Structure 1
Amino acid sequence: MEEKESKQTLYLVMGGRVTDPRSVTFADPESLHVAGVYSTYETAVDAWRSNAQRTVDDAEMKYVIVHLHKLLDPSA
């Protein structure tokens, strides 16, 4: 019996200082804080929220969730 390979989802949570609070252009990409890689969107949101709330008083700090599985398999 052949097993179907299920699609793996991966989410990267990262953040850093941005050049403009309305954009996601990071001022110093080499110094980005990588909070981690998560297998569910819910755990990624939890990590994003905790990091974003920790830096809420700094308008130039921004955390984002990157859908890695979409980058790894653009046809999905």
Structure 2
Amino acid sequence: MSENKLHLVFGGRVSDPRTLDFNDFNSMDLVGIFPNYEAAEEAWRSKAQATVDDAEMKYVVVHLHRLLEPEIIEPARK
């Protein structure tokens, strides 16, 4: 079992801000892969705040560790 809790942060233009329907995969912004949620959230927040006036831009955090090790079930955060 890995000690890292890898997270991916990326963003791009969406057709509807309520969805994850990204318009152009060639112009997506790959922010990076981070070793924990706190670092990923900080990067996400920075990018999201920088584009707050652009309703078509959306940034997300993906829990890569959940995809890489799906057998590990984490307790819910309180």
Q: Same fold (TM over 0.5)?
A: yes
Moved over 2 A (4+): 5-8
The unaligned stretches of length 5 or more in structure 2 are 73-78
- Give the residue type in structure 2 aligned to 1:57: D
State the aligned residue count.
Answer: 72
Q: Structure 1-normalised TM-score?
A: 0.87
Partner of 2:9: 13
Equivalent residue runs for 1:1-76 within 5 Å: 5-76=1-72
Tell me the CA shift for residue 30 of structure 1. Answer: 2.4
Separation in 2 of the partners of 1:7 and 1:75?
15
Tell me the CA shift for residue 6 of structure 1. Answer: 4.1
Give SS of 1:9's match: coil
Separation in 2 of the partners of 1:43 and 1:8?
12
Separation in 1 of the partners of 2:25 and 2:69?
24
Q: Structure 2-normalised TM-score?
A: 0.85
The unaligned stretches of length 5 or more in structure 1 are none
Identity %: 57
- Give the residue type in structure 1 aligned to 2:51: T
Based on CA coordinates, which of the two structures has the bigger radius of gyration?
1
